[in-house]
Amino acid sequence: MRLRVGLLGGGSWGTTVASVVSRNAPITLWARDAATVDGINRLHENHKYLPGIKLPPALRATADMAEAVAGADVLVVGVPSHSFRAVLEEAKRHLRPWVPVISLTKGLELDTEKRMTELIEDILPGHPVGVLTGPNLAREIMGGQAAASVLSMEDEIVVRALQPLFHSGLFRVYTNTDLLGCELGGVLKNIVAIAVGMGDGLGAGDNTRAALMTRGLAEITRLGVAMGGRAETFAGLAGMGDLIATCTSALSRNRHVGVELGRGRAIDDIVADMHMVAEGVKSAPTVIALARHHGIDMPIARDVFDATQGRRSAQEIFRGLLRSSVGDEAHPG
Q: 10 Å Cβ neighbour count for 263?
A: 15
Q: Classify strands 147-152 and 129-133 as parallel, antiparallel or unpaired.
A: antiparallel
Q: Classify strands 60-62 and 74-77 as parallel, antiparallel or unpaired.
A: unpaired
Any binding-site annotation on 32? yes
Any binding-site annotation on 49? yes
Question: What does the DSSP assignment read for 231-271?
Answer: GGGGGSIIIIIHHHHHHH-TT-HHHHHHHHHHTT--HHHHH
Any binding-site annotation on 189? yes
Answer whether 65's CB lies under 8 Å from 99's CB.
Answer: no
Answer whether 149's CB lies under 8 Å from 130's CB.
Answer: no
Any binding-site annotation on 30? no
CB within 8 Å of 210: residues ≥ 6 apart: none
Any binding-site annotation on 107? no
- Is 189 tagged catalytic? yes
Any binding-site annotation on 253? yes
Any binding-site annotation on 195? no
Q: Which of the following is catalytic: 48, 54, 114, 189?
A: 189
Any binding-site annotation on 13? yes
Any binding-site annotation on 313? no
Any binding-site annotation on 121? no
Task: Tell me the catalytic residues.
Answer: 189
Binding-site positions for NAD(+) read 9-14, 138, 253
Binding-site positions for sn-glycerol 3-phosphate read 106, 134, 189, 242, 252-254
Binding-site positions read 9-14, 32, 49, 106, 134, 138, 189, 242, 252-254, 277, 279
Binding-site positions for substrate read 106, 253-254
